[in-house]
């Protein structure tokens, strides 16, 4: 297990189009477990492989990120005292994901991105989608999604095409966001 470095704008690797996974092997399992560790550490609710420099069509999502300020909960329900995460983790892996029938209805959501730190902006995306993907064993899944899950999956799918959420903004708003990030980096 390892926490990987998250690439940030303007790293050109973030503009790469990621390629489909063909081998469902131990190397893929290690990548996914390192991606979860990196995402929980950040913390974030999603991560695409290209954000850690790997141009494969692999995403991890957990909409229940750890609250870094919360104390681990002591628990003895099975007679043995132990600690567990205060929020229940719901890790989900999406390999070679596709979006089917996006709704015409759009939703506005204030998005952020671990590769564009500390910048938040409203992005409009289809409210509901049907997603198709493979799991770590190569089995296919299909599911309807809405709410934050639909938004997050579309944000992550964009990374696979080399697109960042700021690319959905007007040129003026994108330039303002990138200048703000430059300023924040200077004081950091
Ligand atoms: O942690 C993240 N939060 C988030 C909030 C709104 C919409 C999308 C996201 S994804 C982001 C993590 C990230 O950068 N994934 O690529
Ligand atoms: Ni992102």
Q: HEC states along 23-53?
A: CCCHHHHHHHHHHHHHHHHCCCCEEEHHHHC
pLDDT tens-digit readout, 124-161 = 999 999 999 999 999 999 999 999 999 999 999 999 99
Counting ligand 1 atoms within 8 A of each CB, the residue from 7, 39, 67, 112 with the most, and so the one to mutate, is 112
Q: For residue 158, which phi and psi values (nearest 5 degrees)? A: -55, -40
Average pLDDT, the chain: 93
Query: Which of the residues are catalytic?
Result: 156
pLDDT tens-digit readout, 45-59 = 999 999 999 999 999
Predicted confidence at residue 18, as pLDDT, reads 99
Q: Return the domain boundaries, the chain.
A: 12-187
12-187 adopts what CATH topology?
Peptide Deformylase (3.90.45)
* Number of Cα atoms under 13 Å in the Cβ half of residue 154: 27
Q: Is the C-beta atom of 152 inside 6 A of ligand 1?
A: yes
Ligand closest to 167 (CA) is 2
Q: How far is ligand 1, taken at its centre, from the CA of residue 76, in Å?
A: 34
Ligand 1 nearest-atom number relative to CA 110: 6
Q: Residue 12 pLDDT more than 90?
A: yes
Q: 156 by DSSP, 3-state: which? A: helix
CA distance 21 to 95: 7
pLDDT tens-digit readout, 67-106 = 655 655 555 555 556 555 667 899 999 999 999 999 999 9
Q: Residue 176 pLDDT more than 60?
A: yes
Predicted confidence at residue 15, as pLDDT, reads 98
Q: Indicate the pTM of the whole model.
A: 0.91
Predicted confidence at residue 74, as pLDDT, reads 57
């Amino acid at each position: 297990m390892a926490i990987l470095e998250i690439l940030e704008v303007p790293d050109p690797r973030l503009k790469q189009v990621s390629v489909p996974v063909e081998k469902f092997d131990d190397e893929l399992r290690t990548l996914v477990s390192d991606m979860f560790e990196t995402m929980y550490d950040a913390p974030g609710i999603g991560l695409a492989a290209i954000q850690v420099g790997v141009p494969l069509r692999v995403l991890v999502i957990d909409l229940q990120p750890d609250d870094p300020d919360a104390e681990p909960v002591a628990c003895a329900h099975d007679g043995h005292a132990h600690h567990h995460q205060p929020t229940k983790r719901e890790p989900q892996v999406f390999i070679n994901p596709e979006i089917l029938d996006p709704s015409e209805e759009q939703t506005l959501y204030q998005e952020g991105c671990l590769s564009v730190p500390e910048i938040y902006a409203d992005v409009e995306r289809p409210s509901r989608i049907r997603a198709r993907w493979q799991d770590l064993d190569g089995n296919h899944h299909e599911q309807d999604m809405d709410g934050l899950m639909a938004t997050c999956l579309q944000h992550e799918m964009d990374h696979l095409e080399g697109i960042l959420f700021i690319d959905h903004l007007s040129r003026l708003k994108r330039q303002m966001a990138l200048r703000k990030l430059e300023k924040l980096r200077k004081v950091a």
